[in-house]
Copies of this chain bind each other. A is one copy, B any other.
Amino acid sequence: MSTISTEDYIKAIYKLEVRGEKATTSALASQLGVADASITDMIKKLSDKGLLHYERYQGVELTQQGVKMALGILRRHRLWEMFLVEFLAYSWDKVHDEAERLEHVTSAELEHAIDTALGHPTGDPHGDEIPTVDGKLPNRSCTALAAHEAGDVVRVLRVSDEDSAILQHAASLGVALNSRITVKQKMPFDGSLTIKIGKKEHFVSRQVADSIFVERV
């Protein structure tokens, strides 16, 4: 049983905060696969290190320092994803797991070298923005494909990289960054869709439609 790194705790908290959810003990425990009590132990230590604010029974919130760490990790993660695609011919559904490991062993020099080699990219292969060195994260507004109605015409801005199988499936439908999608029908109950990409129509499950983020054109 391997132990969870500080960076992984910070990431998990950040991920919840970004989703607008409160970083509660139980949410973190299920995210990280440890017991609730272990989370309580650990967040006390991280609080002592100044990475988060903790008040008993109230969940946690990252401090500025904690957010900075999270953005640093995210930056390295997304730079690696881009790098794997551009320099090592990875497909977009393979990069996430690899980047998940590499992000933790990346020095400032290496981060800089990758950034330079890529020509200072602003986004990764799934359309996620790459935080800048000084911790700015330009947040484009986009909506889940699942939130759209029949007749809407949209452009793909980003596809969640959490699930490799979904990415692979999306690619097989012709979904890529900047693809144009027309929503043909929306099923009333489960929210699945029929969409048109190029000349072809496809059925899209709710789960997939929740992973594709778009803007109206």
**Is A117 at the interface (CB under 8 A from chain B)?**
yes
In the assembled complex, the Cα of A84 lies from the Cα of B102 at a distance in Å of 14
**Is A141 at the interface (CB under 8 A from chain B)?**
no
Between A and B, 8 residue pairs with Cβ closer than 8 Å are A88-B113, A88-B114, A89-B113, A89-B117, A94-B109, A98-B109, A102-B102, A102-B105
**Is A189 at the interface (CB under 8 A from chain B)?**
no
**Is A172 at the interface (CB under 8 A from chain B)?**
no
**Is A110 at the interface (CB under 8 A from chain B)?**
yes
**Is A202 at the interface (CB under 8 A from chain B)?**
no
In the assembled complex, the Cα of A149 lies from the Cα of B110 at a distance in Å of 41
Chain B positions within 8 Å of A94 at CB level: 109
> A117 contacts B88, CB within 8 Å?
yes
- Told that A101-B105, A101-B107, A102-B102 touch, could you supply 15 new A-B pairs with CB distance under 8 A? A84-B110, A84-B113, A87-B117, A88-B110, A88-B113, A88-B114, A88-B117, A89-B113, A89-B117, A94-B109, A97-B107, A98-B109, A98-B110, A104-B105, A105-B105
In the assembled complex, the Cα of A141 lies from the Cα of B114 at a distance in Å of 36
Copies in the complex: 2
Per the CB 8 Å criterion, the residue count for chain A at the interface is 18
Chain B positions within 8 Å of A88 at CB level: 110, 113-114, 117
CB of A49, distance to nearest CB on chain B (Å): 16
Chain B positions within 8 Å of A89 at CB level: 113, 117
Kindly identify, within residues 170 to 195 of chain A, every residue whose CB is under 8 Å from any CB belonging to chain B.
none
Chain B positions within 8 Å of A117 at CB level: 87-89
CB of A4, distance to nearest CB on chain B (Å): 14
